[in-house]
Amino acid sequence: MKREKTYEPKEREITVRSEIIELLKLKELTTLEISRLVRIPEKSVSEHIEHIRRGLQNKGYYLKIIPAVCLSCGFVFKKRDKIKPPTRCPLCKSEHIQDSTFKILPLE
């Protein structure tokens, strides 16, 4: 019996992606919250969001990224355009970071 271990089937990926899109249309979520809701690893969530972001523009939506914030000193990770959340504050080196949150909104 053959089993693909490292790749999930294409259909599952598409389903996961549309699930994430539907969730993000409803409310703001972090990658961790999405990973719990869709039951996939947080690392995969970042990859899916990257794909979703690229595909959204021609569907009349855009991905709003609310930047991560340091909970110790209030530093906002504004310039960070990456999907992957930061793990440490560049100013105070604290690891108490409120992750970036994502929301899908219709284009005006």
Interface residues with Zn ion (CB under 5 A) are: 70, 72-73, 75, 89, 91-92, 94
Specify the residue, 92 or 105, whose C-beta has the smaller distance to Zn ion. 92
- Which string of b and e fits 48-66 if b means at least 16 CB within 10 Å? bbeebbeebeeeebebebe
Task: Classify 42 in phi/psi space as left (phi over 0), alpha (psi -120 to 50) or beta.
Answer: alpha
Cβ proximity to Zn ion, 56 vs 66, nearer residue:
66
Q: How far is the CB of 17 from Zn ion (least distance, A)?
A: 33
Closest separation between CB of residue 30 and Zn ion, Å? 18
